[in-house]
Amino acid sequence: MNNNETHGFFGGLTKYGDEEFSKFLRKVFLSSLGYDDLDLSRPVIGIADTSSGYVTCHREMPQLIDAIKRGVLEAGGLPVVFPTASLPEIMMNPTSMYLRNLLAMETEELIRSQPMDGVVLVGGCDKTVPAQLMAGISAGIPFMQVVAGPMIPGKWEGKKVGACTDCRAAWAEFRGGRISEDQIKEVSGVLAPSGGTCTVMGTASTMACISEALGFAIAGSSTAAAPTGERLIAGVRTGRAIVDAVKIGLTPDRILSKSSFVNAATVLGALGGSTNAIIHLLAIARRAKIEFTLDDIAQASNSVPVIVNCKPSGTGYMDDFHNEGGVPQLIHQIKEILDLNALTMTNLNWDETLKSIPLRSPSGEGLTKVSSPVSPKGGLRVLRGNLAPQGAVIKVSAASAELLNHKGKAVVFENIDDMMARIDDPNLDVEADSVLVLKNAGPYAAGMPEAGALPIPAKIAKNGVRDMVRISDARMSGTAYGTVVLHISPESAVGGPLAIVQNGDVIVLDVENSKLEILLSSEQIAKRLEGHEVTSFLPNSHWGNVFKATVMQASEGADMDTSFLGSEL
């Protein structure tokens, strides 16, 4: 055989010690799939499939993948679907974040080891999209992102409702005795009426919009609902676009720059998006080898007001935002402070992209003008102080304004199990102005679960209290709300100052001045830290041990640090 091509099915040959034999074997087995020489001359487009019986959000994914395949074929490519692991947020123990880096590693290696010229990564539920973006950037071949899309909202007692902000609101009302057991059962049946991700600006919707802002998703594609024809059209258009990207060799390193990430962080602020996006953006930038820090995110996200009217920062749902035109219309509104020269995987920059999308006047239902925002400042704030030397975050747009400058005595829970055991104890020494403190819930200790939005203690909730200051090294769901300080770095388990907080210590939260402090001297903190032992509650398993050996702190994106193995990726 004289086939010297190194693309398509003849790229990345299996090592048998005879290159021509490797090609011959591939042709033998590919013929069993009905592929002829014309098929084998086409660019091969891998399609990473994260559908799973455990991932309810991805219920509509088979039809979406069929649409992507159609687009690839129309553009002259050959689509090949391959499965990867999937990360269902509500089904995973201890948390899907514990497995984000594993999915990124698995997906990267499948892209590298299987013959493909480009790849479409199909995700949706919270950690799948950031893991896929990390993987695609690390693998380095042309790739594009398609998301499952948000679910459609339901109706309850005459009002529009949807997962998962309304899930949390209903559960809080039930815990506080304000709705009955029959009502909580009834509402549970209408909060998630279709396939798709949460229908608010949670982590899934935020990361979908971020993938679009970074240039990896077709403009306008991130907000179309899962069960709609628009979602399928997004798949078809992506299939066509990835073939075009392969033909011109448009790889992620050619479109990504510091400006791409500043744009994404600015969009994050305007979305009033999930705090989880901060961790993911840091990790994605690290994979791109672009210097991008927590302070960069703080500066960019605070440069804009929140103009997307979606829960939990606003009152609407993702269908409201989509009906306003989605991300392209948001970018139209804030384009003066963005770098519109940032390139996308369609080989158009954002300035060129917007020229084909006419500016619309927002109604306020899903998107507002900058002059009449949902919130006057970006939704996220980075805090520092003697409790968070490397930083912490708070979602200001979902917090109670009266608690953003607060001083209170700590009520400390040593870990998640301790919190669950005591939070509703009628003898818990807690007042409405207390500060709830959760330790040992960071990346190394617990995989960084979404436990940061601690429940309001039952004895307080029954008095009508719906919010308190809560601080931890955990995360919280992007659909959650409240005055919740998260991602405290370094985490308590590895000796961060959070480890020394005791019941009755006075905690000061001063969001205006970006401060989180405990009223102790540096000498007192150092004294209490003496003899601290590093703690982890993660499984003693193969991945558990790899994770603990490699995971970085939240302020670094909780990515994998493999430099101790002798080489830095």
What pTM did the predictor assign?
0.96
167 and 140 fall within a common domain: no
β partners of residue 506: 409
Are the CB atoms for 121 and 136 separated by under 8 Å?
A: yes
- Integer angstrom CA distances of residue 71 from 41, 68, 77, 234: 18, 5, 9, 10
| Unique residue bearing structure tokens 């990207």 | 245
The model's pLDDT over 417-469, given as tens digits with 9 standing for 90+, comes to 999 999 999 999 999 999 999 999 999 999 999 999 999 999 999 999 999 99
Find the helix or strand (DSSP H, E) in which 155 lies: strand 154-156
Find the helix or strand (DSSP H, E) in which 406 lies: strand 405-413
Q: What are phi and psi of 160, to 5 degrees?
A: -70, 130
The model's pLDDT over 329-372, given as tens digits with 9 standing for 90+, comes to 999 999 999 999 999 999 999 999 999 999 999 999 999 999 99
138 and 182 fall within a common domain: no
Q: Is residue 168 part of a domain?
A: yes
The model's pLDDT over 59-79, given as tens digits with 9 standing for 90+, comes to 999 999 999 999 999 999 999
Q: Is residue 11 part of a domain?
A: no
Residue finishing a domain among 132, 163, 188: 188
CA–CA distance, 66 with 46 (Å, rounded to integer): 13
pLDDT value at residue 4: 44
65 and 212 fall within a common domain: yes
350 and 406 fall within a common domain: no
120 and 206 fall within a common domain: yes
Q: Is residue 4 part of a domain?
A: no
332 and 465 fall within a common domain: no
Q: Is residue 321 part of a domain?
A: yes
The answer to whether residue 215 scores a pLDDT higher than 60 is yes
CA–CA distance, 168 with 1 (Å, rounded to integer): 63
Are the CB atoms for 139 and 112 separated by under 8 Å?
A: yes
Residue type (1 letter), 348: L
CA–CA distance, 494 with 445 (Å, rounded to integer): 8
168 and 245 fall within a common domain: no
318 and 280 fall within a common domain: yes
Are the CB atoms for 201 and 310 separated by under 8 Å?
A: yes
- Integer angstrom CA distances of residue 382 from 410, 433, 504: 21, 22, 25
Q: What is the CATH number of the domain that holds 412?
A: 3.50.30.80
CA–CA distance, 125 with 50 (Å, rounded to integer): 9
Q: Is residue 555 part of a domain?
A: no
Q: Is residue 199 part of a domain?
A: yes
The answer to whether residue 487 scores a pLDDT higher than 70 is yes
CA–CA distance, 162 with 124 (Å, rounded to integer): 17
- Integer angstrom CA distances of residue 2 from 23, 40, 122: 10, 15, 36
Stretch 286-306: mean pLDDT: 96
534 and 388 fall within a common domain: yes
pLDDT band at 563 (very low <50, low <70, confident <90, very high): confident
406 and 467 fall within a common domain: yes
For the chain, the domain total comes to 3
CA angle 162, 168, 170 (to 5 degrees): 80
Are the CB atoms for 319 and 199 separated by under 8 Å?
A: yes
146 and 160 fall within a common domain: no
pLDDT value at residue 264: 98
Q: What is the CATH number of the domain that holds 320?
A: 3.40.50.2300
Average pLDDT across the chain, whole number: 96
207 and 133 fall within a common domain: yes
Q: Is residue 488 part of a domain?
A: yes
Domain that holds residue 164: 154-188
Percent share of the chain, pLDDT over 90: 95
Q: Is residue 138 part of a domain?
A: yes
